[in-house]
């Protein structure tokens, strides 16, 4: 299934995409794409519905984040060798883990707002893992059953705050609008292999990133298992899995986002995002 939420910021409603590509409303059958829906029982309930009996969503509408309430954003850094190399940082021997604020979440086509004083805001296309069940200290094999689905993420990063202002990386990655999600949550059963997805990101029509999840240093199940060793994951938690080479930081000289820039990105089976960058 492809699940999504539509409507104004703060008033989004749940929906799904039917086999013909039409958007079908899920309210009042479910309140939202929340923890209950993301559980194995919740997803089984939705999969048993006849989508063609649900009302079509018509007219013009905004697409929001596909998850109603994200408790945690856990990020994995330097998970592609080529990105670590372009950043001139050591290849990790264990996953590099940091956090982003959930207040940074926005919709897949919302504007990205540069924070006051931004001098080096960068783009990072990433595969996002959405947890569907309580997960603690699971094995790499067991980890697969913890995954409700996947979504596309832009891990927008203000490099000056991330690297030069002291503290954790999340300091430069938690500004409002810095974590666009969607357009869909695609349930795990629809993704044949999370390690065979193509990631592409363009800035102003020029290809900047083109990678494959096959090139991750730590694959999806390893990441989920690793993170679960030191924290309990719960339904709706989001893990973002790192970005391939091609970020602005790695260009010579570096190139960063400016007011008016346009970003387009896609991941196999997960749809597209389109953003306009707004200055302060």
CATH number at residue 162: 3.90.850.10
pLDDT of residue 168: 76
- Nearest Cα to Cα of residue 107 among 167, 193, 209, 183: 183
Q: Are residues 49 and 77 both part of a single domain?
A: no
Chain mean pLDDT for the chain: 95
Residue 68 resides in a domain? no
Of the pLDDT bands very low, low, confident and very high (cuts 50, 70, 90), residue 164 is confident
Q: Are residues 180 and 111 both part of a single domain?
A: yes
Residue 158 resides in a domain? yes
Please check whether residue 100 is in contact with residue 178, taking contact to mean a CB–CB distance below 8 angstroms.
yes
Residue 67 resides in a domain? no
DSSP 216: B
Of the pLDDT bands very low, low, confident and very high (cuts 50, 70, 90), residue 201 is very high
d(CA 125, CA 180): 10
Task: Average the pLDDT over 68-92 and give the result.
Answer: 91
Give the whole-number percent of the chain exceeding pLDDT 70. 100
- Nearest Cα to Cα of residue 246 among 215, 223, 271, 280: 215
Q: Which range (20-34, 74-88, 203-217, 226-240) has the least confidence?
A: 74-88
Checking if the pLDDT of 166 tops 80, the result is no
d(CA 98, CA 114): 22
pLDDT of residue 28: 87
pLDDT of residue 165: 81
Q: Are residues 35 and 154 both part of a single domain?
A: no
Q: Are residues 32 and 102 both part of a single domain?
A: no
Helix (H, G, I), strand (E, B) or coil at 256: coil
Domains of the chain: total: 2
pLDDT of residue 280: 72
Q: Are residues 98 and 213 both part of a single domain?
A: yes
Task: Average the pLDDT over 2-28 and give the result.
Answer: 96
Task: Average the pLDDT over 199-222 and give the result.
Answer: 97
Of the pLDDT bands very low, low, confident and very high (cuts 50, 70, 90), residue 169 is confident
pLDDT of residue 86: 86
Give the whole-number percent of the chain exceeding pLDDT 90. 90
Range of the domain at 233: 73-278
Please check whether residue 25 is in contact with residue 13, taking contact to mean a CB–CB distance below 8 angstroms.
yes
d(CA 116, CA 146): 39
Checking if the pLDDT of 176 tops 90, the result is yes
Residue 212 resides in a domain? yes
d(CA 14, CA 33): 6
Checking if the pLDDT of 83 tops 90, the result is no
d(CA 4, CA 185): 6
Checking if the pLDDT of 19 tops 80, the result is yes
Residue 32 resides in a domain? yes
Q: Are residues 37 and 167 both part of a single domain?
A: no
Q: Are residues 240 and 109 both part of a single domain?
A: yes
Q: Are residues 91 and 18 both part of a single domain?
A: no
d(CA 237, CA 252): 36
Residue 190 resides in a domain? yes
Look up residue 33 and give its two tokens: 């794409």
Q: Are residues 40 and 93 both part of a single domain?
A: no
Residue 105 resides in a domain? yes
Please check whether residue 57 is in contact with residue 24, taking contact to mean a CB–CB distance below 8 angstroms.
yes
Checking if the pLDDT of 66 tops 80, the result is yes
Helix (H, G, I), strand (E, B) or coil at 223: helix
Residue 241 resides in a domain? yes
d(CA 67, CA 95): 25
Pairing assessment for the beta strands 105-106 and 179-180 based on DSSP bridges = parallel
Contacts of 137 (CB under 8 A, 6+ apart): 228, 229
Helix, strand and coil content of the chain, in percent to the nearest 5, comes to: 20, 30, 50
Checking if the pLDDT of 51 tops 90, the result is yes
Q: Are residues 153 and 266 both part of a single domain?
A: yes
Q: Are residues 152 and 263 both part of a single domain?
A: yes
Task: Average the pLDDT over 210-237 and give the result.
Answer: 97
Q: Which range (1-5, 160-164, 187-191) has the least confidence?
A: 160-164
Q: Are residues 114 and 41 both part of a single domain?
A: no
Strand order in the sheet with 262-267: 112-113, 271-278, 262-267, 198-203, 206-212
pLDDT of residue 87: 83
């Amino acid at each position: 299934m492809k699940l999504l939420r539509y409507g104004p910021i703060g008033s989004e409603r749940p929906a799904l995409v039917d086999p013909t590509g039409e958007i079908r409303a899920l309210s009042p059958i479910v309140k939202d794409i929340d923890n209950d829906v993301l559980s194995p029982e919740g997803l089984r309930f939705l999969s048993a519905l006849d989508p063609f009996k649900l009302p079509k969503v018509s007219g013009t509408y905004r697409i929001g984040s596909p998850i109603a309430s994200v408790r945690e954003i856990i990020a994995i850094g330097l998970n592609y060798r080529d990105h670590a190399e372009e950043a001139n940082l050591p290849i990790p021997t264990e996953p590099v883990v940091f956090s982003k604020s959930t207040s940074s979440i926005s919709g897949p086509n919302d504007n990205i707002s540069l924070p006051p004083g931004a001098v080096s805001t960068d783009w990072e296309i990433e595969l996002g893992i959405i947890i569907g069940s309580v997960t603690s200290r699971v094995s790499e094999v067991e980890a697969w059953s913890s995954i409700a689905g996947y979504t596309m993420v832009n891990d927008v990063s203000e490099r000056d705050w991330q690297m030069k202002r002291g503290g954790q990386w999340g300091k430069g990655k938690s500004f409002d609008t810095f974590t666009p999600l969607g357009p869909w949550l695609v349930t795990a059963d629809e993704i044949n292999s999370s390690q065979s997805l193509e990631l592409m990101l363009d800035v102003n029509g020029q290809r900047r990133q083109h990678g494959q999840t096959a090139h991750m240093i730590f694959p999806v199940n390893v990441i989920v298992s690793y993170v679960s060793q030191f924290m309990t994951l719960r339904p709706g938690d989001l893990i973002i899995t790192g970005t391939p080479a091609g970020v602005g930081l790695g260009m010579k000289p570096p190139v960063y986002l400016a007011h008016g820039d346009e970003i387009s990105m896609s991941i196999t089976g997960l749809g597209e995002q389109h953003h306009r960058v707004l200055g302060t």
